[in-house]
Amino acid sequence: MKLEVKTTEAKQKILIVSKYSYAFLKIFKEELKKSGNEVFFSSILPEKTNQYNYCFFINEKLSQFKPSLQTKSVFIFIDQEKTAEKLAQQNIKGIKIISIQKEALTQDKIDKILWYSLSHTKEPLLKMHGLKIEKPIKFKLIKKGCDFKKNLSYQKMALLFILFLILIHIFFFLPLGATSYLSYKAFLAIKNEDYNRASDNLKAQKVFLSLTKNSFSLAKPTLLFLSLANFPNNMIEINEKIALIFDNLLVNQKGLKELFGLILNKNKTETEKKLLSLRFFTLKKNLQDLEENLTIISNNLPTNSPHSENLKKNIITSLEAIAQFKKILPFADDVLAKDSEKKYLLLFANNMELRPGGGFIGSFGILTTKNYALDNIQIYDVYDADGQLKAHIEPPKAIREYLAQPHWFLRDSAFSPDFLTNYAQAKFFLEKEMNLSGFSGAVLVTTSAIENILEAFGNLYLPDYQETVNKKNFYLKTQYYSEKNFFPGSIQKKSFLSSLMTQILLNLENTSAKQLITGFKKSFDEKQLVAYFDNPKLQDILESLFWSGRVIEPKCAQDIDNCVVDFLLPVDANLGINKANFYINRLITLKTNFNAQGQISHFLTVVFRNESAENVFPGGVYKNYFQIYLPINTVIENVTSNGVLIDSEFITDRVENNMFRVVGFLIKVPPKSSTEIKINYQLKNHFKKGKGIYQLIIQKQIGSANNDLVMETTLSKNYHLLNQNFIPLVKDNQILYNTYLSTDKIFITELLKE
């Protein structure tokens, strides 16, 4: 065998520096590339040029930039003959100078410039002349035997030339408008999940985008010179990124369906496991590209348009969702038990019968993952477990006194606002009742969460029940099969939920991936879904996203001395053995006053409105054991219900976890009526003199509705508002803010106290 060895000469690197894109540069660069050189172009002067073999500087003064002696440099001056001659007189070693009187150059003159620049000639200066403009041509035409002259004047020639230039400089707006319109049509199609139409619009968009870029390249040098190129440049870049994003979304939409199918496949081959792993890797990369392109679009959008502002808000929301998903995605291998087997506890909480931890636990399930797949889901009625409890478990005082229940069972285990506490209690009951253990985590799912998720599936037909279930009728159907001929130990509700879960899994590949992800995100954000995992890294991420259902430790987000941390968590516990929360509206108003000495006083008002009908199940009287979690250094002044002072003997007052002061009492809200609760309290720690932070944490109860929240803060005259992380209405030292308590919120206000 003959071994042939070839030596390849390294390409020379050539840099061209020019603030403007002159017409001859395109030919100039092409000729350099034909010789096998790597050509780089820059509009600004680089700090170093040692890495290039040759540097061409167009209309750049030597005083602004002194190239390294290791780099061969050529200075080209256009219409600057005196500057070129002056530089040539300095006899600087290692540089060559070319003087051009006109920009327009013929091919042979370009060749001469290249020969001079790259040759070893010692001549320091080369003078070049451009093309001269010929005089107007006179035409002599003969028509039908009669001859006549048509003399084109300079004025007409100039007018035609100007019109031609104008056309060149505005023509690109036509395809640019068509490109933007098709981008919008593709967006609407993707929003409506019409992916075939979106693909067709995207193909047309790319054709017009290419035409836009080609026509804009003719106008770009002039627009750059006039500083008018930013807007069309930005619009072209936005449409380019939109095309990339939509391509990405179309690919991801198909990829997610395949991903769902692979996850549901229990008996995967090694090849299928590798394919699933590759799908996760590709999804992660696509999310990264999507994030980068959305960021570029957001930065390039015009700032003075209301439509742009709305679009920018939507982009920011999308970027937040992508960032959240990217944090969770790397743990897919662990959660799906890639090379092992794991069990997770599912707790189904009816938040229409609200409890501190989300709701009455009517059912529970065990989800098993094994070898990168959802291996099995087993659903149980809560009475399957509670009926087997032999020992007495002492219940919380409120359950014993207000629910008249002397024993504690799994169904009432969600009696803390902290999910980790409730998860530990549920594990305790399941081990005592059914000898179940070995869980790697848990997920609490409320009725509202299931409704959010069902939106992605539309109508689901349950053959076992000959029923069609959707988001709107799920709760009523579940209640019907729960209450129909109910007795402890009946399997109707369990079977109904099992049948529904089976249909969800069977239709997973055909559902809307976009709506499914949206439903899960909405449920996690609004604390209708909360989760805990034994993997500490994954759990830390869930807590950072406020998806873990933990009670937040009240501590200052910034490490400063003058920081007052405030806290509020209102907690309901429906102990009326009904589903009255379906009819309850709640308004929370918090008025805060900062006096001149720095004392902080609160006036909390909570109004409950019961819209249920009289004596009609599942509504009725709202019998609510209401608790307020406050900072431990709180002084309670008084508590009233509908203006009547509540006697202290009917109020429980305790310290929890050495962090909170918890005040609780029973209230009753009859149907078609309202109850107003008022609590006046003060903080023991005062706001100090000088700059400082007031940080208010308001937590939402797991499973609770998105209540209205009104905040009114009044500052004494010796305070100055410096900054805040929300947008309030500020008037005469009053800070007003209206919002929804849809998730946990942290309000940070920077103040200066004189």
CA–CA gap between residue 261 and residue 509 (Å, rounded): 6
Closest CA to 672 of 609, 580, 588, 615: 609
Q: CA-CA distance, 582 to 578, in Å (whole number)?
A: 10
Least confident stretch, 238-242, 626-630, 659-663, 688-692: 238-242
Q: State the Cα–Cα distance between residues 208 and 214, nearest whole angstrom.
A: 10
Per-residue model confidence as pLDDT tens digits over 578-587: 999 999 999 9
**pLDDT score, position 492:** 56
What per-residue string of b and e applies to 182-198 under the rule 16 or more CB within 10 Å gives b? Answer: bbebbbebbeeeeeeeb
Helix (H, G, I), strand (E, B) or coil at 304: coil
Distance of CA 684 to the CA centre of its chain: 39
Distance CA 303, CA 547 (A): 34
- pLDDT at 677 exceeding the cut of 60: yes
Give the mean pLDDT of the chain: 86
Residue 520: band (very low, low, confident or very high) from pLDDT cuts 50, 70, 90? very high
Name the amino acid, one letter, at 268: K
pLDDT at 183 > cutoff 70: yes
Q: Over 70: is that where the pLDDT of 529 sits?
A: yes
The pair of structure tokens assigned to 479 is: 């209640």
* pLDDT on residue 64: 58
Confidence tier at 394 by pLDDT (50, 70, 90): very high
Q: With 50 as the cut, is the pLDDT of residue 481 above it?
A: yes
In angstroms, rounded to a whole number, what is the distance separating the alpha carbons of residues 605 and 588? Answer: 6
Sign of CA dihedral 625, 628, 633, 639: negative
What tokens were used for 142?
A: 């003969």
CB 492 within 8 A of CB 709: no
Residue 601: left if φ>0, alpha if ψ -120 to 50, beta else—which one?
beta
| Amino acid in position 18 | S
Query: How far does Cα 76 stand from its chain's mean position?
Result: 50
pLDDT in the model for residue 129 = 66
Decide: 404 and 423 in contact? Cβ < 8 Å: no
Is the pLDDT score of 710 beyond 70?
Answer: yes
24 vs 11: CA distance, rounded Å: 23
Query: Strand (E) positions, 384-526?
Result: 441-446, 460-462, 467-469
pLDDT band at 144, cuts 50/70/90?
very low
For tokens 């006899």, what's the residue? 91
> Does the pLDDT value for residue 164 go beyond 80?
yes
Asked if pLDDT for residue 293 goes beyond 80, the answer is: yes
Task: Give 282's pLDDT tier (boundaries 50, 70, 90).
Answer: confident
3-state DSSP call for residue 68? Answer: coil
> How far is residue 236's CA from residue 516's CA, in Å, rounded to a whole number?
33
Between 194 and 414, residue with greater pLDDT: 414
Which pLDDT belongs to residue 382? 92
pTM of the model: 0.73
What's the pLDDT score for residue 98?
87
Q: Residue by residue, what is the 3-state secondary structure of 237-251?
A: HHHHHHHHHHHHHHH
Q: Is the pLDDT of residue 103 over 60?
A: no
Query: What is residue 563's three-state secondary structure?
Result: strand
Q: Which alpha helices (H) appear in 484-588, and where do they start and end?
A: 492-506, 513-525, 536-544
Which residues in 676-703 are b (16+ Cβ under 10 Å) and which e?
bbbbbbebeeebeeeebbbbbbbbbbbb
- pLDDT at position 65 is 55
More confident residue, 713 or 189: 713
Residue 136 near residue 154, CB atoms below 8 Å: yes
Between 510 and 672, name the one with better pLDDT: 672
**Residue 679 near residue 639 (C-beta atoms within 8 A):** yes
SS3 content of the chain, % helix, strand, coil (to 5): 40, 30, 35
Radius of gyration of the chain from its Cα atoms, rounded to whole angstroms: 37
Q: Please tell me which residue, 120 or 738, carries the higher pLDDT value.
A: 738
Task: For residues 398 and 627, give the distance between their C-alpha atoms in angstroms, rounded to a whole number.
Answer: 11
Instruction: Give the pLDDT mean for 136-154.
Output: 46
Place of tokens 């006053």: 593
Over residues 574-616, the pLDDT tens digits come to 999 999 999 999 999 999 999 999 999 999 999 999 999 887 7
